[in-house]
Amino acid sequence: MDHISIVADTLFHIGPLPVTNTMLTAWIVSLGFIIFAFIISRRVSYIPSKLQNFAEAVIEIIIGFLETIAGDRKTAERFFPIVATIFLFVLASNWLGILPGVGSIGMHTVGHDGHEAFVPLFRSVYSDLNMTLALALIVVVLSHVYGLITVGVRHHLGKFITFKGPVLFFTGILEIIGELSKVISLSFRLFGNVFAGEVLLIIIGSLVPYIATIPFLGLELFVGLIQAAIFGVLAMVAFSSFTRADSH
Amino acid sequence: MEDLFHNLGIDWKILVAQIVNFTILVFVLTKFLYRPLLGMLNRRRDEIKKSAEKTVAADKLVAEIERQKEEVLAKARTTSSEMIKKAETQATGAAEKIMTDAQAEAKRIAADERKKLASEHDALMQEATRSLGATVIRAVEQSVGDVLDEKAKGKLVEQAMQKVQVTART
């Protein structure tokens, strides 16, 4: 049976930076998107090619969905780049995680305890808490930056720190705790789902190889899509809620 | 807390690296993918909207032109039927006048021809009478010779000429 670990394995170091297998997978996913973006940008035309048509369809679906959350197209377009990148990156990372080779191609190394262990070269990006935490921090910090820019420092901070009354003061404290818990909930939800999926696939694959894993692979595809959508929606809600003057 | 982070594998260097990675990705995708494609989508949407508005305006214009055409056609139909009626009336009048004139002309020509024939006939008869008269005079002079005097010869010639004239008239 494969080695199951919460912590991602370090493959090598670039200076002081340990490069883990999840990080390598994230770089590959990013590189894929960057190459795709360069290819598209060189061929953008009024009459779209098949590839441009596909990209436009994806963008139109995402922006249409964001419009239903934000209420208007202008707000949807404002937050579209960050939310769409979150959705697409999480989706691609989740789906890449169940491809053959991810988790199975690797090398045998000798650990600190002297035992030889198998280290996979690639691992599903969001089965590493560092990755989900980074994304959650980006969302929460950016939501406050957008809030500060849109409604102003005084109004935005007034939602958290207020001395207008004891009830409002404690509400502000609860809001601060809520923001901290938002980071934890966002990161652990995605991590929990993806990591559980990984573990489930490893266990099923070990118990009944080949056929039995197929339904679970389908389930993981679905979970990957749902988790990407949830993260994107929650990010959009966080951004748009702080940019409304009447938000609490 | 440090133990918790260690057990969960949280490393601030990896966190920062991932944040940087994601920021670069957002930047590149925004510059090379989202902005050009959103621009293109918005441009296409605007042009479709403009085209739809133009189509509505064109439809209205076509309807207005159609209405004006029907109006002009109706007017033209009325005018043309009036003109046809007028022309028919004028043509009928002209035809009747032409017929009347033609009949009058025919009568006039016939009368003229009759007059001409009568005058030619009279001239011929006079010529014939003259010629016959001269023949009668010669015949009387030759047949009676010197038997009768000039007075009797003249009377005889006169009587013969009267008979010739009566005969010629009948």
Provide the shortest C-alpha distance from residue B3 to chain A (in Å).
13
Which of B13, B18, B34 lies nearest to residue A18, judging by beta carbons?
Answer: B13
DSSP A103: T
Query: Could you list the residue range(s) of the whole structural domain that residue B67 is in?
Result: 2-169
**Smallest Cα distance from A226 to chain B, Å:** 20
B43 neighbourhood in chain A, CB within 8 Å: 46
B28–A17 C-beta distance less than 8 A:
no
Chain-chain contact of B37 with A38 (C-beta, under 8 angstroms): no
Q: Across chain A, what does the average pLDDT equal? A: 88
Partners of A20 in beta bridges: A10
Least reliable range by pLDDT among A3-17, A28-42, B71-85: A3-17
What's the whole-number average pLDDT of chain B?
A: 89
Q: Which amino acid is at A102?
A: V
Q: Is A4 on the interface with B (CB under 8 A)?
A: no
Tens digits of residue pLDDT in B150-169: 788 778 878 877 877 777 66
Report the pLDDT value the prediction gives residue A2, as an integer from 0 to 100: 57
CB contacts of A129 in chain B (<8 Å) are 8-10
> Which pLDDT tens digit goes with each residue over A156-169?
888 888 888 888 89
Tokens 């010639």 appear where? B157
CB-CB neighbours of A132 under 10 Å: 27
- Who's near A227: CB < 8 A, 6+ residues apart? A90, A94, A126, A189, A190, A193, A194
Query: Which residues on A lie below 8 Å from B26 (Cβ)?
Result: 81-82, 85
Q: Give the pLDDT of residue B2.
A: 76
pLDDT in tens, A57-96: 999 999 999 999 888 888 899 999 999 999 999 999 999 9
Q: How far is CA A185 from CA A129, A133, A178, B1, B163, in A?
A: 12, 10, 10, 18, 163
Instruction: Decide which of A110 and A247 is more confident.
Output: A110
- Look at residue B126 and tell me whether its pLDDT is greater than 60: yes
Residue with tokens 């939310």: A83
A241 Cα to chain B: minimum distance (Å) = 21
pLDDT at B56 over 90: yes
Residue-level pLDDT at A3: 65
- A26 pLDDT above the threshold of 90: yes
Q: What is the pLDDT of residue B82?
A: 95
Locus of tokens 């440090």: B2
pLDDT at A111: 66
Chain-chain contact of B34 with A84 (C-beta, under 8 angstroms):
yes
A-B contacts (CB, under 8 Å): 110
Answer left, alpha or beta for residue A100, where phi above 0 means left and psi between -120 and 50 means alpha. Answer: beta
pLDDT of A187 higher than 80: yes
pLDDT band at B134 (very low <50, low <70, confident <90, very high): confident
* A137 neighbourhood in chain B, CB within 8 Å: 15, 19
Interface contact B37-A56, CB threshold 8 A: yes
Give pLDDT, residue A44. Answer: 87
Disruptive mutation site among B22, B30, B35, B47 for chain A (greatest number of A CBs within 10 Å):
B22
Asked if A22 contacts A119 with a C-beta cutoff of 8 angstroms, the reply is: no
Decide if B40 and A48 are in contact by the 8 Å CB cutoff: yes
pLDDT of residue A245: 61
Give mean pLDDT, residues B29-34.
94
Q: Count CB-CB contacts under 10 A for residue B159.
A: 12
CA–CA gap between residue A96 and residue A33 (Å, rounded) = 13
pLDDT per residue over B60-89, tens digit each? Answer: 999 999 999 999 999 999 999 999 999 999
Partner-chain residue, chosen from A18, A77, A89, that has the shortest CB–CB distance to B38: A77
pLDDT at A248: 47
How many independent structural domains does chain B possess? Answer: 1
Evaluate if residue A231 carries a pLDDT over 50: yes
54-113 of A, contacting B, C-beta below 8 A: 55-56, 59-60, 63, 77, 80-82, 84-85, 88-89
Closest CA to A131 of A206, A205, A195, A71: A195
